[in-house]
């Protein structure tokens, strides 16, 4: 049952990643626009700080997803081993 909860959690994390990615794209576009207006360095700096924070958040979420995926693989292998052991016992 815990693997199902982790899968649901992974799906939720993926949707969060998509939202963060879209926000990051918009912030990047705004930052490019701010760069084209050379008179507004403050706005450019603010957008880059926010964008970098989103990148860090995305990297953190990706690492968490990779860890969850590895745990799911371990649980799957354990379940497969259990099925094989049960099958061998039933055939014996």
For every one of its 92 residues, what pLDDT tens digit does the chain have, with 9 covering 90 and above? 444 444 445 556 666 667 677 777 777 777 666 666 665 666 667 777 777 777 787 788 888 888 888 888 899 999 999 999 998 888 87
Which ranges constitute the DSSP H helices of 1-92? Answer: 2-36, 41-91
pLDDT score of 1: 40
- pTM, rounded to two decimals: 0.50
Question: What is the structure's pLDDT at 39?
Answer: 56
Q: How many CA atoms lie within 13 A of 92 on its CB side?
A: 6
Angle at CA of residue 70, ends 11 and 77, nearest 5° = 110
């Amino acid at each position: 049952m815990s693997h199902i909860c982790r899968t649901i959690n992974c799906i939720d994390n993926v949707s969060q990643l998509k939202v963060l990615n879209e926000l990051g794209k918009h912030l990047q576009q705004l930052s490019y626009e701010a760069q084209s207006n050379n008179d507004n360095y403050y706005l450019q700096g603010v957008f880059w700080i926010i964008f970098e924070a989103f990148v860090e958040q995305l990297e953190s979420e990706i690492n968490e997803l990779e860890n969850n995926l590895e745990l799911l693989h371990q649980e799957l292998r354990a379940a497969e081993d259990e099925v094989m052991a049960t099958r061998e016992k039933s055939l014996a």
